[in-house]
Amino acid sequence: MSDEDLNRGLEGIRVAETRLSDIDGEAGVLTIGGFPVDDLARNATYEESVFLLFEDRLPSSEELAEFRADLAGRRAIGEEVRAVLRRAAEEDKPAMDALRMGAAAANLGTGESEPEADARRVVAVFPTIVATYWRYREGEEPVEPREDLRHAANYLYMLNGEEPDEAAVRGLETYLNTVVDHGLNASTFTARTVVSTESDVVSAATAAVGTLKGPLHGGAPGPVLDMLRSIHESGDPEGYVRGKLEAGERLMGFGHRVYRVRDPRAAVLEAAAAEFYDEAGDSDFFETIKAFEDTAVEALAEHKPGRDLETNVEFYTAALLDGVGVPKELFTACFAVSRVGGWTAHALEQLDDNRLIRPLSAYVGDHDRSWTPVDER
Ligand code: ACO
């Protein structure tokens, strides 16, 4: 195989057709289920976004009520899953490890194994898994899900034990809608690969959690918040950026495999975060964030001329999720709580018109070695 045939990281290779989302990386335009991301993110409830991905249309009010009630009825977890989450919390396992363990058990006791039922179950149960783990981490008893609250509201309720105000629900919902799907990113590709073997949707979502965990994909917003807080305290964004780049480190929250302009999701989340910081009377912190973005983008342009390293989704995710009261230890898990809608929709789409995903590798090892018995080595 020649070097030209080798594509490390599958960059620029199309391996699936999808109607779920479209990214124009040059223009910085993201379309989800046919809608510009800002239109969907600002207006939809999370249940409407997921219905749109599953059914390729918006639900009528009756369909929405039915879908919402169906998801709400699938939220509860049993004592055996709670025990695993309690143990994960006691051992200080990161939230994404706990979510992976809980996800793997998502079809326990459901009595169903159809792809659509599995998809609804994992979407419905992810917030319960994350919130249950978090309550144990905080030394509190888990809060039972409430069927009368919509998805985002119930998630905040299970996390904090209090019914959230509408502004927090709306902020979280804007986030959940913004990141619900994003082309064939690494975790979505994983989900499609799993079901392409005719495996099941719960396995696909579990494997996708493992893929999302890494800092090059979903693990950046926690470090972004630490970075923003430390710059806010030091008041020296230039010094921070210079120090990082001179040490050969990456600035978290900048750069993207596909976008060569500012990630369009950053604008949606920036607007939502601005509202929060304004309402919370903490516009000082928000000013620091804005000023840091300008400093960092300028420094990155000098550091990597021609590479166009701009703000990615994780940058304002940190600001927004912190604003609505999601603890930073749960930022990546919160990303999964949203993206599971995209993963499962992709898994169903893959199953609809399946072809086993099976690329090639370029072998760079030896040929024709001859075997030496162990006592002669
Ligand atoms: N800070 C400093 N330099 C950077 C950054 C950054 N954030 N991003 C890329 N670069 C540099 C790289 O060091 C590389 O330089 P080199 O050619 O001298 O090695 C060059 O720009 C190209 O980088 P690649 O690694 O080829 O870019 P790739 O497309 O593989 O990576 C990625 C994209 C992983 C997101 C990268 O920009 C990065 O590590 N960013 C920081 C982590 C982050 O914010 N992750 C969240 C991503 S958003 C999401 O997945 C939801």
Of 256, 270, 310, 349, the active-site residue reads 256
φ and ψ at 19, to 5 degrees?
A: -105, 10
CA distances from 188 to 53, 211, 339 (A): 14, 9, 9
Residue range 271-305, pLDDT digits in tens: 999 887 788 777 788 888 999 999 999 999 999 99
Q: Specify the pTM.
A: 0.92
User: What lines the ligand 1 site, CB under 6 Å?
Assistant: 216-218, 220, 250-257, 304, 307, 309, 312-314
Across residues 241-268, what is the average pLDDT?
A: 92
pLDDT of residue 5: 81
How many Å lie between the centroid of ligand 1 and the Cα of residue 250? 7
Across residues 319-334, what is the average pLDDT?
A: 93
Among the residues of the chain, which ranges form H helices?
A: 37-43, 46-55, 61-72, 79-90, 95-104, 115-137, 151-160, 166-178, 186-196, 201-212, 221-234, 237-246, 264-279, 283-303, 313-324, 331-352
Query: What is the complex's ipTM, to 2 decimals?
Result: 0.95
Give the CA angle between residues 335, 351, 182 to the nearest 5°.
Answer: 30
Annotated active-site residue 66? The verdict is no
Tell which atom from ligand 1 comes closest to the C-alpha of 335. 51
Q: Whose CA is nearest to atom 23 of ligand 1?
A: 255
pLDDT of residue 215: 82
Residue range 307-325, pLDDT digits in tens: 889 999 989 998 899 888 8
Closest among 120, 144, 173 to 338, alpha carbons compared: 173
Across residues 63-85, what is the average pLDDT?
A: 98
Q: Whose CA is nearest to atom 36 of ligand 1?
A: 255
Instruction: Check whether 3 has a pLDDT greater than 70.
Output: no
Residue range 161-211, pLDDT digits in tens: 999 988 899 999 999 999 999 999 999 999 999 999 999 999 999 999 999
Residue 155 pLDDT level (bands cut at 50, 70, 90): very high
Annotated active-site residue 232? The verdict is no
Domains in the chain, CATH or no CATH each: 21-217+329-352 (1.10.580.10), 221-324 (1.10.230.10)
Q: Whose CA is nearest to atom 24 of ligand 1?
A: 257
pLDDT of residue 210: 97
Q: Strand 21-24's sheet: what is its strand order?
A: 21-24, 29-32, 35-36
Distance CA 274, CA 287 (A): 9
Least confident stretch, 134-138, 145-149, 287-291, 371-375: 287-291
Tell which atom from ligand 1 comes closest to the C-alpha of 215. 45
pLDDT of residue 278: 82
CB 116 within 8 A of CB 166: no
pLDDT of residue 1: 58
